[in-house]
Amino acid sequence: MDQIISNISILKAAPIFNLGLLIDGLLIGSIFALAAYGLALVWGVMNVKNLAQGDFIMIGGYLTWNLSRLGVEPLLGVPIAFVTLWCIGWIIYRAVVSKVIARDLFTSLLATFGIAIVIQQSLNLAFGPDTQSANADLPTWQFANGLITVTSTRLIGFVCAAILATTVILFMKNSRIGQAIRATAQDARAARVLGIDTEKVYAFTFSLNAAICGATGALVAMVWNVQPFMGTTYSIRLFVVVTAAGFGNLPGVIAAGFGMGVFEQFGGFILGAQYQQALIVLLLLIVLTVRQLQQLRERQAVQ
Amino acid sequence: MSDAIIELKGVTKSFGGVVANRDISLSVPRSAITGLIGPNGSGKTTLFNSIVGYHPIDSGSIRFEGREISRMRVQEIARIGMLRTFQTTRIFGKMSCLQNMLISIPHRKAGFLDMFARERGDVAERAEHLLAFVGLYDKRYLRAGSLSFGQQKLLELAMALMNEPTVLLLDEPTAGINPTLINGLIDRLRRANSDFGITLFIIEHNMRAIMNMASLIYCLAHGELLAAGNPDEIQRDQRIIDAYLGAH
Amino acid sequence: MNATSLQPLIFWLLLLVGIAAPLLFPDYSNQLAVLWLMVIFALTWDILGGQMGYNSLGNIFFFGAGMYIAAVVQIGLFYDVGMYTSAGRTTHIVFTHAQYFTGFVLGLAAAGIGSALLALIIGWIVFGLRGPYFAIGTLGVAVAAAELMASWEWVGAASGISLPVFPGEPEFQKLFFYLLLFALAFVLLVFLRWLYATNFGLAVNAIRDDEEKAEAMGLHTRRYKRTALVIAAFFLGIAGAMFGNMIGFIEPRDIAFPTTTFNIFMVLMVLLGGKGTLWGPVVGAVIFHVIKEVTWTYFLGWQFIALGLLIVIIVVYFQQGVVGWLMERYPERFGIRVAPKEKEEPTVRMEIHLAPHSEGAE
Answer yes or no: is pLDDT of A80 > 70. yes
Q: What is the mean pLDDT of residues A225-232?
A: 89
3-class secondary-structure state, position B11: strand
Q: Which residue of B has its CA nearest to A300?
A: B55
The reply to whether C46 falls in a domain is yes
Answer yes or no: is pLDDT of C355 > 60. no
Answer yes or no: is pLDDT of A23 > 50. yes
Q: Residue C264 sits in which domain range?
A: 3-334
Angle, helices C60-76 vs C221-247, to 10°: value is 60
The reply to whether C362 falls in a domain is no
Answer yes or no: is pLDDT of C360 > 50. no
pLDDT of residue A17: 77
Contact B47, B132 (CB under 8 A): no
Strand blocks (E) in chain B: 4-15, 18-29, 33-37, 59-64, 67-68, 82-84, 167-171, 199-203, 216-221, 224-229
Mutation target to probe the A interface, by most A beta carbons within 10 A, among B13, B15, B55, B76 is B55
A301 touches chain B (CB under 8 A): no
pLDDT of residue C2: 61
C197 chain-B contacts, CB cut-off 8 A: 118
C357 touches chain A (CB under 8 A): yes
Query: In this prediction, what percent of chain A has a pLDDT beyond 70?
Result: 95
pLDDT band (50, 70, 90) for residue B25: very high
Residue C296 has a CB neighbour count (10 Å cut-off) of 12
Angle, helices C262-273 vs C321-329, to 10°: value is 10
- Alpha helix (H) ranges present in chain C? 3-24, 29-46, 60-76, 81-87, 97-126, 131-151, 170-196, 199-216, 221-247, 262-273, 280-296, 303-317, 321-329
Strands B4-15 and B224-229: unpaired
**What CATH number has the domain bearing residue C185?**
1.10.3470
Contact C159, C151 (CB under 8 A): no
pLDDT of residue C115: 97
> Does B55 contact A299 at a Cβ distance shorter than 8 Å?
yes
Beta bridge partners of C129: A302
Distance of CA A175 to the CA centre of its chain: 24
Query: What is the Cα–Cα distance from C231 to C221, expressed in whole angstroms?
Result: 15
* Single-letter code of the amino acid located at A260: M
Beta bridge partners of B199: B167
Q: How many CB pairs under 8 A join B and C?
A: 123
pLDDT band (50, 70, 90) for residue B248: very low
* Single-letter code of the amino acid located at C355: A
| Mean predicted lDDT score pLDDT of chain B | 90
A36 touches chain C (CB under 8 A): no
pLDDT of residue A147: 63
Predicted confidence (pLDDT) per residue in B109-121, tens digit: 888 888 888 877 8
pLDDT of residue C362: 33
Q: What is the mean pLDDT of residues C253-264?
A: 90
| Mean predicted lDDT score pLDDT of chain C | 86
Contact B89, B45 (CB under 8 A): no
Report phi then psi at B200, rounded to 5.
-115, 135
Q: What is the mean pLDDT of residues A136-145?
A: 67
Residue C137 has a CB neighbour count (10 Å cut-off) of 28
A117 chain-C contacts, CB cut-off 8 A: 260, 264, 304-305, 307-308, 311
Cα–Cα–Cα angle for A219, A224, A226, rounded to 5 degrees = 85
| Choice between A182 and C189, residue whose per-residue pLDDT is larger | C189
Q: What is the mean pLDDT of residues B154-181?
A: 92
Query: What is the Cα–Cα distance from A74 to A259, expressed in whole angstroms?
Result: 27
A210 touches chain C (CB under 8 A): no
Query: What is the Cα–Cα distance from A216 to A31, expressed in whole angstroms?
Result: 6
Q: What is the mean pLDDT of residues A133-159?
A: 73
pLDDT of residue B1: 42
In sequence order, what DSSP letters do the residues of B199-211 get, joined into one string? EEEEE-S-HHHHH
Burial of A142 (0-12, 13-18, 19+ CB in 10 A): exposed
The reply to whether C203 falls in a domain is yes
Q: Which residue of A has its CA nearest to B58?
A: A298
In sequence order, what DSSP letters do the residues of A238-258 get, joined into one string? HHHHHHHH-TT-HHHHHHHHH
pLDDT of residue B177: 84
pLDDT of residue C86: 78
The reply to whether C347 falls in a domain is no
The reply to whether C285 falls in a domain is yes
Answer yes or no: is pLDDT of C341 > 80. no
Q: What is the mean pLDDT of residues C200-224?
A: 94
**Residue from the list C200, C220, C344 with its beta carbon closest to the beta carbon of B107:** C220
Query: What is the Cα–Cα distance from C30 to C247, expressed in whole angstroms?
Result: 10
What separation in angstroms does the CA of A40 have from each of A79, A205, A245, B105? 22, 11, 10, 43
* Single-letter code of the amino acid located at A242: V
Contacting residues for A15 by C-beta, under 8 A, at least 6 apart = none
Q: Which of B203, B130, B123, B198 is nearest to B165 (CA)?
A: B198
Contact C29, C185 (CB under 8 A): no
Mutation target to probe the A interface, by most A beta carbons within 10 A, among C272, C315, C320, C362 is C315
Query: What is the Cα–Cα distance from C229 to C115, expressed in whole angstroms?
Result: 10
> Does A301 contact C128 at a Cβ distance shorter than 8 Å?
yes
pLDDT of residue C89: 58
Q: What is the mean pLDDT of residues C62-89?
A: 87
pLDDT of residue A146: 61
Answer yes or no: is pLDDT of A212 > 70. yes
The reply to whether C114 falls in a domain is yes
Distance from CA of A291 to the nearest CA of B (A): 17
Mean pLDDT is highest, among A184-193, A269-278, C244-253, C294-303, for: C244-253
CATH of B1-81+168-176+198-248, one of 3.30.365.10, 1.10.3720.10, 3.50.30.30, 3.40.50.300: 3.40.50.300
C307 chain-A contacts, CB cut-off 8 A: 117, 121
Strands A140-143 and B216-221: unpaired
Answer yes or no: is pLDDT of C343 > 80. no
Predicted confidence (pLDDT) per residue in C116-164, tens digit: 999 999 999 999 999 889 999 999 999 999 999 998 888 888 888 888 8
Query: What is the Cα–Cα distance from A124 to A131, expressed in whole angstroms?
Result: 10
The reply to whether C340 falls in a domain is no
Cα–Cα–Cα angle for B135, B141, B144, rounded to 5 degrees = 75
Q: What is the mean pLDDT of residues A8-14?
A: 77
Contact B44, B220 (CB under 8 A): yes
Query: What is the Cα–Cα distance from B107 to B152, expressed in whole angstroms?
Result: 22
Total domains in the fold of chain C: 1
pLDDT band (50, 70, 90) for residue C3: low
Write down the pTM of the prediction: 0.89
Q: Which of B118, B86, B12, A176 is nearest to C202 (CA)?
A: B118
| Choice between B151 and C319, residue whose per-residue pLDDT is larger | B151
The reply to whether C359 falls in a domain is no
